[in-house]
Structure 1
Amino acid sequence: MEFDLPLIWAAIIAFAILAYVSLDGFDLGVGILFPLVPEESGHRDVMMNSVAPIWDGNETWLVLGGGGLLAVFPLAYAVVLPALYIPIIVMLLGLIFRGVAFEFRWRASEKRRIWWDRSFAFGSIVATLAQGICLGALIQGIEVVDRSFAGDRLDWLTPFSLLTGFSLVVGYTLLGATWLVMKTEGELQNLARKYSMISGLGTLILVGIASFATPFLDAQYHHRWFEGTNLLFSITIPFLLAICAAILFIGLKRHHDIRPFFAAHGIFLLCYIGIGISFYPRMVPPDITIWAAAAPEKSLQFLLVGTIFLVPIILSYTIYNYWVFRGKVDKEGGYH
């Protein structure tokens, strides 16, 4: 039996990116929410403690996705990187800035802590905005001539990429707020529930605007969504999105702790599936397919052997980590 190795690897990379968005998205969202929570309330300490045990492990999936792209789809990597140098560098600087602020905040005096709080929020917002802009630039398409990037260095900066960047900021805010609903109690939980309602509504509106605009970017998107069997997905995904939205808002209104968090992730998953349908079979729209971008088959086989062992280990560690630190968190970082 012959396996379509490029397609298998595309699925692995897609899974790694989805895992990163799902897991690191909510702790970036917690950082985005920092300026909206009064400093004197003491809630920021609880917010930090809620993600302290797991935030750095979540970024493992970003390394797997980026490293896998370089090793398995070198042509895609060689095209995407020069096209998105600026937003990618800004994203990495934002993540670094955020990580430094996370550690130094606990060791700073009360007077200086406010600056680390602002740094944490700034790094989270900048990293998220850059990720969304990269996504928008990819959806727009990258100009390629003779297997090399042939566009302008600022092709990524467009109204549509800014729309997707802002949409992701609001979306991560939703993930962060529903995470706090699940992990906290009392006044902070009520505040998180309020921000979940606002960011949930904002996310749905922005997803609708971006989805409406996408078919006008390229005729290929219109064809994939509204012609042939894919029309079924165009009907099904909005219906499932409405169900997730109903679970989210009803759960928040009835003061459920866990359902809103998973409903928010359901919204992200459906949006991700929609992007996948729009892209397939392209690795770099509009021209480079999964098979054209792939490394030689021997390389794919060799790397797949290691990945078969690596991914289950990462998954096991991640699941165990979340299980150990399950439950509510208080200001002192104690779980009960």
Structure 2
Amino acid sequence: MSIDLTTIWAFIIAFAVFAYVVMDGFDLGIGILFPTFDPGRERDRAMNSIAPVWDGNETWLVLGGGGLFAAFPLAYAVILPATYPLIIAMLLGLVFRGVAFEYRWRDPGHRRLWDFAFTGGSFVAAMAQGMTLGALLQGIEVSGRAYAGSWFDWLTPYTLLTGLGTVAGYALLGATWLIWKLDGEGQAHARKLAMRAGIATLALMGAVSVYNVLLNAEYAARWLTAPEIYFAAPVPILTAIVAISLLRAVTKERNSKPFWLALLLFFLGMAGLGVTIWPFVVPPDVTIWDAAAPERSQVFMLIGVAITMPLIIGYTAWAYWVFRGKVDDEGYH
């Protein structure tokens, strides 16, 4: 694989997407799990655990989407029309979740309604993100540098499977985050949820992986034929090792370890995604070089990213460091 500006930009956007998934994923996961918490103290503590960081996490969504528009305009112009209903659903879900997050404290008379909006918004956003990924993986019909499919090409059994896999994965991240941030009965409850979400996530990851092989002959060749199999094989092997370690950590009274292992599981899933579709940004026809912006534009934007990305990482790390403790009824301590 040759390294050029286009490849660098592909990895920058991949990093931004991964950062968004792991950071916003756990607070979406807490929203998905919210109905399983007892109203009152248990729900308040779960929400307090993400209160200082949840809105900052979505910075990475803006960076990923904006970077795709700027660095790969053709991909942006094809992917969005192919997934408009899903993107609209995701944004509405994030809006409902954000409004509910603020208003449930200020309007206690309608707290049940805001809790429902928080859960519904989180579920819809997670499902839409997973189905968007599935729509991309199953292939997008392109003709004359434009989307040539119909309004509902994204709605298939495969995209529903990837959507459910994303919901389960976010629930796993949310549960392992609560293991880290809570103690007592709340932590014990989070351990039970993490075990169930972990099993569901692994089962759905396996199902999606098998479906990928059956979905596209080129995907099958990358995973099952030599010499490609020698480069791809470490991903499922490491995934199995991490999965076993994660389930053991959940049951062994560890605090932060389950969360870090869940993040590693997501990283390996993204690595598997990269093995599957590289170098296509819009399978099966548009590569990253086909979709790339002019070189001068990439250089100009790279200078901006070199300045802003360390700042984003820095203030994000600082926020997590400041609020690094356990959560009690009043907040962090």
Same fold (TM over 0.5): yes
| SS of residue in 2 equivalent to 1:152 | coil
* Partner in structure 2 of residue 224 of structure 1: 222
* Partner in structure 2 of residue 81 of structure 1: 80
Per the TM alignment, residue 225 of structure 1 is displaced from its structure 2 partner at its CA by 1.6
Tell me which amino acid in the other structure corresponds to 2:268.
L
Distance 1:139 1:51 in 2: 31
Which stretches of structure 1, 4 residues or more, deviate above 4 A after TM superposition? none
* Partner in structure 1 of residue 239 of structure 2: 241
**TM, length-normalised to structure 1:** 0.97
* Partner in structure 1 of residue 90 of structure 2: 91
1:145 matched to 2:143: yes
Distance 2:185 2:82 in 1: 45
Q: State the number of aligned residues.
A: 332
| SS of residue in 2 equivalent to 1:311 | helix
1:31 matched to 2:10: no
Distance 2:250 2:18 in 1: 25
- 2:297 counterpart (292, 296, 299): 299
1:283 matched to 2:286: no
Distance 2:167 2:231 in 1: 26
Per the TM alignment, residue 241 of structure 1 is displaced from its structure 2 partner at its CA by 1.0
Contact preservation (8 Å) 1:247, 1:259: no
Distance 1:53 1:87 in 2: 28
* Partner in structure 2 of residue 168 of structure 1: 166
Distance 2:312 2:205 in 1: 31
Per the TM alignment, residue 232 of structure 1 is displaced from its structure 2 partner at its CA by 2.0
Per the TM alignment, residue 3 of structure 1 is displaced from its structure 2 partner at its CA by 6.2
* Partner in structure 1 of residue 156 of structure 2: 158
- 2:309 counterpart (308, 311, 314): 311
Per the TM alignment, residue 230 of structure 1 is displaced from its structure 2 partner at its CA by 2.5
| SS of residue in 2 equivalent to 1:283 | strand
Matches within 5 A, 1:126-275: 126-275=124-273
Contact preservation (8 Å) 1:181, 1:189: yes
Structure 2 segments unaligned to the other structure (5+ residues)? none
* Partner in structure 1 of residue 119 of structure 2: 121
Rate the CA distance shift 1:226–1:58 in 2: closer, same or farther, 3 A: same
RMSD: 1.1
Contact preservation (8 Å) 2:31, 2:118: yes
State which drifts further: 173-182 or 236-245. 236-245
Structure 1 segments unaligned to the other structure (5+ residues)? none
| SS of residue in 2 equivalent to 1:145 | coil
Distance 2:3 2:31 in 1: 42
Contact preservation (8 Å) 1:142, 1:149: yes
**TM, length-normalised to structure 2:** 0.98
Distance 1:269 1:3 in 2: 21
Distance 1:126 1:52 in 2: 20
| SS of residue in 1 equivalent to 2:154 | coil
| SS of residue in 2 equivalent to 1:84 | helix
| SS of residue in 1 equivalent to 2:233 | helix
